[in-house]
């Protein structure tokens, strides 16, 4: 266990006094149903959310709330948290029950939870400003990527319609053709004062995106 604590100290360039809190942070409920990392995970999730929210607020003062929210969601989701934790190369120290075999990179739920509980333990041990600094370091590359986050056409259209008319775009199913294993869907969309635009795709979601894209193009053309 001393090797585990030394590894944490080396990664975060600090000295740990409350070793038990980090043992708790790395204890999955499958190993101990009563004393595990769930409460630390709850805390770490909130700390991460606050730090990332503040960082995005500082970086993008002129960006609207909807765009900030999408960047935020990409930075704190399960996939990103799991990736960050895996990159620390400390998954071998996790206490898991016998029902789990060797942890893999694609075990995103466990890895993400461990990431959040680790942040919760760091917050308790070292305080907010320490963990804020470490989160910004660990998420540095992901935060850089957030500057080129592309908002999909359906989300763009929704933001436009809500801002201009205070109502959501109206989507309707037109048809489903082709074999069951390879269907083609057609969906229409309209907003207030617009005609219907139709999009097609291999799923309703893709068809809606394509319909929204056509309507957005029409809106942009009208503004020229």
Is the separation of the CB atoms in 85 and 114 below 8 Å?
yes
Q: How many CB atoms lie within 10 A of CB 175?
A: 12
**∠ CA(25), CA(17), CA(131), 5° rounding?**
60
Q: How far apart are CA 73 and CA 46, in angstroms?
A: 13
What long-range pairs does 142-146 form, CB within 8 A, spacing at least 24?
142/74, 142/75, 142/80, 142/84, 143/52, 143/55, 143/56, 143/59, 143/75, 146/56, 146/59, 146/71, 146/74, 146/75
Tell me, rounded to whole angstroms, the distance of Cα 64 from its chain centroid: 18
Tell me, rounded to whole angstroms, the distance of Cα 33 from its chain centroid: 27
Helix and strand counts by DSSP (H, E) for the chain? 10, 3
Instruction: Return the active site residues.
Output: 45, 116
Is the separation of the CB atoms in 95 and 32 below 8 Å?
yes
Which of 87, 97, 93 lies closest to 138, judged by CA?
87
Q: How far apart are CA 112 and CA 106, in angstroms?
A: 10
């Amino acid at each position: 266990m001393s090797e585990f604590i030394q590894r944490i100290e080396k990664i975060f360039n600090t000295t740990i006094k409350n070793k038990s809190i980090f043992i708790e942070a790395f204890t999955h409920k499958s190993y101990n149903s009563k004393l595990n990392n769930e409460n630390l995970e709850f805390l770490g999730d909130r700390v991460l959310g606050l730090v990332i929210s503040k960082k995005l607020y500082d970086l993008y003062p002129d960006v609207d709330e909807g765009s900030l929210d999408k960047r935020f969601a990409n930075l704190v989701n399960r996939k990103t948290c799991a990736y960050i934790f895996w990159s620390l190369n400390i998954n071998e120290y996790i206490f898991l029950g016998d029902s789990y075999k060797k942890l893999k990179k694609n075990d995103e739920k466990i890895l993400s939870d461990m990431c959040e509980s680790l942040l919760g333990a760091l917050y308790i041990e070292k305080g907010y400003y320490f963990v804020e600094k470490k989160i910004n370091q660990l998420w540095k590359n992901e935060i850089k990527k957030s500057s080129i986050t592309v908002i999909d056409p359906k989300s763009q259209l929704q933001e436009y319609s809500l801002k201009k008319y205070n109502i959501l775009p109206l989507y309707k199913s037109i048809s489903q053709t082709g074999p069951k294993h390879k269907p083609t869907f057609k969906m229409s969309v309209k907003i207030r004062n617009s005609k219907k635009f139709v999009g097609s795709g291999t799923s309703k979601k893709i068809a809606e995106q394509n319909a929204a894209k056509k309507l957005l193009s029409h809106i942009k053309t009208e503004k020229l």
